Amino acid sequence: MIVAAHRQSRPWVGASIGVDDARLPSYDESCYLCPGNARVSGKVNPRYSGIFVFDNDHPCVGADAPAEIVQPPAPYSVRRADGVARVICYSPRHDLTLARMPVSDIEVVVDTWRRETHDLGARPEVNQVLIFENKGEVVGVSNPHPHAQIYATNFTWQTFDTELSAQRRYARDTGAGRGLFDDIIRAEEEDGRRVLYADEHVIAFLPYFARYAYEVYVAPRRRVAHVSDLSDHEIAALARALKDVTVRYDNLWRQSFPYVMPLHQAPTDGGDYRDFHFFVGFLPPLRRPNTLKYLAGPEIGGGNFLSDTSPEAMAIELRALSTVHYLDERATPPTTPTTPAPVQRA
């Protein structure tokens, strides 16, 4: 990827992204995720009080996939996409994002990721459990009720395939099974400038190779291949780190901060994944308030990211912020980023 931070201030006449930061009600009678409301399928949500997990009414994979597959002519091939798709409502509150939840409630969310990964990953037809949260209209979320999704599929996902092969290659090339992510964590701690949160179990940082302006990794120090392998202490620490990061995000521009947040996990097909290091990634699409990082020629065309910002400068902004949510207490205003020269990073 390429860092060209001097471009951040280039003239911009493109579309401005409206951020709908109107205060949401704690209950919305038209929301299909709120307790007691009917969903499109006609099913009615229970009057749940904690977390609520249900099978997606419009799954991308599942039992409704066609059983009979007609093979197309070469070079194409096709196979049945099977699996389970679920929705995890974080809480009955329509307005309670991770950033606003108490750490103890975030811990219940992370514990649910752990349980679902364990249970769905044990199914013979499931080869990978993809868990993610899309947050904000700007990433296409039609319903603001805070929720994550699970795609437990009979195929694996390319991002994690790529990470797995990079980690295996690194372990082989450096000898003695050295972990790529172990060394990334070590490098980030030694540098220190991009670290947002660290305790004995978990670390959160903007990676040296961040593609998005405010990209953050939240990782357990101990190398495990799945969230389901974490101990209770590590789950609690992960919850504290997620709270820290999401509060900083909201405090940055004093608005609800959009992101795509995937859990990076190894497959669950019984293979040897000792080289894979589980972590949570935050990919925020905005590089400024109301300004999208557009993917264009370099990214979609060339396959490399051209970042308009340096992670060190963005880390200065995020590190300067209060870890108390601005709706709970007045936060420190963000600082002005610096503009270092372009450099290539690998």
Which positions touch Zn ion (CB under 5 A)? Answer: 28, 31, 33-34, 94, 145
- Cβ of residue 60: shortest distance to Zn ion, in angstroms? 22
What is the rounded CA–CA span in Å between residue 239 and residue 103? 6
Task: Tell which phi-psi region holds residue 322, choosing left (phi > 0), alpha (psi between -120 and 50) or beta.
Answer: beta
What is the rounded CA–CA span in Å between residue 88 and residue 55? 9
Q: Which is nearer to Zn ion, 33 or 252 (CB)?
A: 33
Q: Which is nearer to Zn ion, 145 or 223 (CB)?
A: 145
What is the rounded CA–CA span in Å between residue 148 and residue 123? 20
323 φ, ψ (degrees, to nearest 5):
-100, 15
Q: Which is nearer to Zn ion, 21 or 191 (CB)?
A: 21
Under 8 Å between Cβ of 136 and 256 = yes
Q: How far apart are the first and last CA of the chain?
A: 6
Q: Which is nearer to Zn ion, 32 or 326 (CB)?
A: 32
Under 8 Å between Cβ of 24 and 325 = no
What is the rounded CA–CA span in Å between residue 307 and residue 298? 10
- Cβ of residue 32: shortest distance to Zn ion, in angstroms? 8
- Cβ of residue 48: shortest distance to Zn ion, in angstroms? 11
Residue 125 DSSP code: T
What is the rounded CA–CA span in Å between residue 290 and residue 274? 41
Q: Kind of pairing, strands 306-307 and 2-3?
A: parallel
Active-site residue (options: 147, 201, 264, 277): 147
- Cβ of residue 26: shortest distance to Zn ion, in angstroms? 9
Please say if 147 is a catalytic residue: yes
- Cβ of residue 97: shortest distance to Zn ion, in angstroms? 12
Q: Which is nearer to Zn ion, 36 or 333 (CB)?
A: 36
Which amino acids are annotated catalytic?
A: 147
